[in-house]
Every structure is written in structure tokens, then in C-alpha cells.
Amino acid sequence: MSMSTSGKRIYLDHAATTPCLPEVADAMRPYLTDIFGNPSSPHSFGQEAKRALDAARDTVSDQIGADASEIYFTSGGTEADNLALIGVTSALSGKGNHIVTSAIEHHAVLETCEYLHTRGVETTIVPVDEHGLVDPEDVRKAITDRTVLVSVMHANNEIGTIEPLAEISKITREKGVAFHTDAVQTVGAIPVNVDDLGVDLLTLTAHKFYGPKGTGALYVRRGTRISRIIHGGAQERERRPGTENVAGIVGLAKALEISQEGIEERARHISELRDYLIRGLVSRVEDMRLNGHPTKRLPNNVNVAVQYIEGESMLLSLDMMGIAASSGSACTSGALEPSHVLRAIGLPFEIAHGSLRLTLGRSTTKEDLDYVIETLPPIIARLRSMSPLIR
């Protein structure tokens, strides 16, 4: 990111990633240098590392209400999603070949469904309403006697909508179908408990809750059938071969532990800041609306559609003013395409194009938001004055 003329740098892209907390980096450091053994080695060096791994597994399972034997460490959210979808469908290929998922899942889920299609697994994609909510009854209707897995994310990474997982899990239980959720955006942000949600598999990744990048986990409820998707040694009870990323896993556990301290109070505080930002922007800019659900949303997520301009140009102008945000478009084969999420909530192409996501974090202050509220409206006015979409 470029430095603004005022020297300010305000990071409002915490849904993309978060910095590692100093305490997390401190907890990891010994495992990069002194305690370097391979956890599979029977000698004392290896066993020291193995103890750290076991302790991390205990910590992670405690924080989400699981048992240590139900946690499989992975290289992050993408791999955990792949393991859930490919692993369950291949273990249950004798039973069925059908997945039910939602239209607003992360690419780690949707692209995996595309891949599975080439392996003979069909997917039914249930729609969402204008706020991004899945209707559990749509999930019920989509389940057939060939369905082996339902995958619905806990909260959407773009628009922040929190899905009714507990209601969906009543249906999956009734139907005897495994239920996976991608909880990458909720773990560490709001309380997450696998039994309260009723899920059988859950994806999490450390870099979204102030831990290191490249480390995640898949929770798999005992009794859920799942095959390995990569092949090699016997690590992670043979479900995820490869020498464990000990330092990363220690960091993940530490970050998760820290994230749970005062989580409800922090979520309340951040959602107050979120609402302050939403009010500040919507009251100052005409033809701006909030994307996502007004209340069932992540505490830190602001996503607004700004008519008549492009999100990308807002991003660049904000970056020049020291504000890091994200837009609702992605570059697909050289062209800017509005995201599948904004299209799924029914935004017309041109409005989806003008969407901007600002995601708050632990370090965000009211002063930061005042700066955004002061800086963004003139940027929008200037871009609109040049826009061919407005007279």
C-alpha cells in the first residue's frame, strides 16, 4: 500500500488477513529454532515437538467444543475445505455422489465442487435472499437420497452475512447427511461451538484471527467418514500426511486462545464501530446502500454499494489516502467481474461493480473511521463527476 500525503495508514481489510499478534510470534519462535525436532521422531528432540503439537490440538479442540482427536491440522482454509469436500465424497462414494452448497461460498468450496464434477459428483447450489441468507428449507428440498454432504459457510467473507447453521443442521441430522461449514470468517470473531452449530466438519484458518498464514485446521466429528486427499506418511492419524508445521500450529493455537479472551465484549465493541462507520457513510453519500444483512452480520464487516462508479477506482483513491479496503470485483480473465456473491444477492451488474468492503479489526479506532468518513465522500463525488454512468 502506498503512504498517503498525511502519512496515515489505516488497514480496513481484516477479512483478507490480520497481522500476527506479538504474543503469537513469541510463542512460535522457539519452534523455529531451538525446538526443531520432527514430531514423528521417537527421540527427545522429536518428542518435545510432539508435546507442543498435542498441547496445540488440545487448545484448539477446547476452544470450539471438540475433542482433540477430531482436529486435523492443514495448510489453511483452502486445504481444509478441499479435505472436507473431496475427503467426504470419496469416502462415501458407495453411498452417493451429491453435494448441496450455497451460491455465496468461497472459491475454496465452489471450485472444489467444480473439480468434483469431473469425478462424477454432482452439486446443487441453493440460492440466497437479497441479504445473503440461505433458507434452510431450500437445503431440505435439495437433499436427495444420493446426497452425502451439505456445505454452507458460517459467515460470508464479502458481505458478512451469518448463516442459520443450527437450523440447517437440524435438517442434515434428520436426513443423516454430513454437514460441513467454512467458519474461516467467524472463528476468533464470534463464539463458535461445533455442538451448538450442529456441524460435522468445520474449517478454520489462523491468519484470520491474528495467527500465522499457511496454517489451518479441519474439525471432523467422530464417526464422520473421510478419506485423505494427499498421500504419504501417517501424520494426523493418516488423514493429512506431511511433517507438521509445528511453529505454525503452535501459533494457531495461541492466536485462537487469545481470540477467545473477551470475545463477546470485543464483538460488541467492533460492531458499534461498524455501525458508526455505516451510519457515517450512508448519511453523507447519496445512492449508497449496505450490502448483506442489517443485523445478522459479522461484527467487523461493512460492505456498501455505491451507485454510478467502480469499486476499483474507489480502492485506488482510498489507497492514495492511506486507507486499505477491498472491492467486490475480481479480475477474471483480464476483465473486472463483479463477485459471484454480489450477483447472488441480486445486485445488478453496475451496482455490484461499485461495491466496497471495509473490514475492521482489533486496532481500529473511532478516529480511523472519522478519517474514512471524511475522506470517502469527496472521493465518491469526484469519481461520480467523471463517471459516464451519471449525468
In the complex, which residues of this chain contact ligand PLP (CB under 6 A)? 76-78, 81, 106, 108, 153, 157, 182, 184-185, 205, 216
Output 216 or 361, the one with its CB closest to ligand PLP.
216
Output 17 or 365, the one with its CB closest to ligand PLP.
17
Output 182 or 236, the one with its CB closest to ligand PLP.
182
Output 157 or 259, the one with its CB closest to ligand PLP.
157
CA distance 78 to 390: 40
Q: CB of residue 90 vs ligand PLP: minimum separation in angstroms?
A: 21
H runs (alpha helix) in 65-164: 77-91, 107-118, 136-142
Q: CB of residue 74 vs ligand PLP: minimum separation in angstroms?
A: 9
CA distance 262 to 297: 19
Residue 285 contacts residue 376 (beta carbons within 8 Å): yes
CA distance 224 to 179: 10
Write down the catalytic residue from 331, 334, 367, 386: 331
Amino acid at 35: I
CA distance 379 to 116: 44
Output 202 or 290, the one with its CB closest to ligand PLP.
202
CA distance 177 to 64: 21
Q: What is the DSSP string of 209-264?
A: TTS-TT-EEEEE-TT-----SS-SS-TGGGTS-S---HHHHHHHHHHHHHHHTTHH
Output 205 or 339, the one with its CB closest to ligand PLP.
205
CB-based closest residue to ligand PLP: 77
Kindly give the interhelix angle for 77-91 and 107-118, rounded to the nearest 10 degrees.
30
Query: Which residues share a beta bridge with 326?
Result: 357
Q: CB of residue 217 vs ligand PLP: minimum separation in angstroms?
A: 10
Q: CB of residue 215 vs ligand PLP: minimum separation in angstroms?
A: 8
CA distance 31 to 243: 14
Q: CB of residue 355 vs ligand PLP: minimum separation in angstroms?
A: 16
Task: Write out the three cell numbers for 62.
Answer: 477446547
Residue 322 contacts residue 9 (beta carbons within 8 Å): yes
- In terms of Cα–Cα distance, which of 52, 68, 81, 70 is closest to 254? 52
CA distance 104 to 108: 11
**Is 331 labeled as catalytic in the residue annotation?**
yes
Active site residues: 331
